[in-house]
Amino acid sequence: MSGTPVVAGPRQRLLVININPDAATRNGTRRIARAFERLARLRVGGDAAFQVHIRHFRRLSLEEVARLGPTAVVLGPQGVPFDAYPNGARAHLFALIAALADSARPLLAICGGHQALVLSHGGAIGPVHGGRASGSYDGHTKETGLRRVRRVGDGGLVGAALDGDFVVSHVEGVTLLPSCFELIGEGEPCKVQAIRLRGRPVWGVQFHPERDASATPDGRRAGPRRGDGDGVLVAFLREAGLMLQSNDEGPSDPTRL
């Protein structure tokens, strides 16, 4: 039927990976999972269109990922500089990310996950306002609030959703983008806001598309939704085949899906 959404089956899985060195640090990962769970229920009568699973990276191998069989993968944020990770854990994280990115499985990396994606491919990151972050982010200025992101490349459906205002919360940003990535969204003062791995269904965003700028610290809505993140999340789900429109005449507003 024209304009009728086609939604993925409930047996499909979205894997959200907690990349914090300590598995007990998981608030950011859980917030991402809740955002996707909300979107999964928008047009299926309250039943989830797909399942969302959270795993800590130290519990994951490529064999375990294959066993879980996710349709798509999301990398969450982290709360400390990557040099604060034990050497073996950091090496495992970057090797896991590089292998996942090299597969045909769609992947979205958010904030620290975006930075880890770049590092796993030989890039570099650093504090947005100068200096060097080592061991902790104490003493460094943190970018917070809404920032305007401009679309500068193609990037498929995710790229098309990039023009807008998004919530940011980070100290570091990408300072060296490897040539295997295309810059598809930029902003200020952190220029590299969105990237795509060339030839792969892999995206990274420095901002937090899962966050609502109108929410209070405990997550409650304090007014009309502020921020355009839902559009990016829905675009990724469509790229992954987890939320589709049957034709181009469906609603462009993700809150109406």
Please provide the DSSP assignment of 91-106 as one string: HHHHHHHHHHHTSSS-
Q: Is 208 a catalytic residue?
A: yes
Q: Which of 143, 210, 239, 249 is catalytic?
A: 210
Q: Which of 63, 111, 170, 249 is catalytic?
A: 111
User: Which DSSP category does 215 fall into?
Assistant: B
Q: Count each helix (H run) and each strand (E run) in the chain, helices first.
A: 6, 13
Q: Between vectors from CA 176 to CA 171 and to CA 181, what angle results, nearest 5°? A: 110
Strand order in the sheet with 72-75: 51-56, 13-18, 72-75, 107-110, 202-205, 192-197, 181-186, 143-151, 164-170
CB distance 50 to 8 below 8 Å: yes
Going through 19-162 in order, the beta strands assigned E by DSSP cover 51-56, 72-75, 107-110, 124-127, 143-151
By CB neighbour count within 10 A (0-12 exposed, 13-18 middle, 19+ buried), where does 241 fall?
middle
Q: Is 190 a catalytic residue?
A: no
**Of 213, 232, 237, nearest in space to 114 by CA:** 232
- Which tokens belong to 237? 């789900």
For helices 229-240 and 27-40, the axis angle rounded to 10 degrees is: 70
Q: Is 129 a catalytic residue?
A: no
Q: Which of 64, 208, 239, 249 is catalytic?
A: 208
Distant-in-sequence, close-in-space partners of 48: CB < 8 Å, separation ≥ 6: 10, 37, 40, 41
Look-up: residue for tokens 């914090």?
A: 20
* Residues annotated as part of the active site: 111, 208, 210
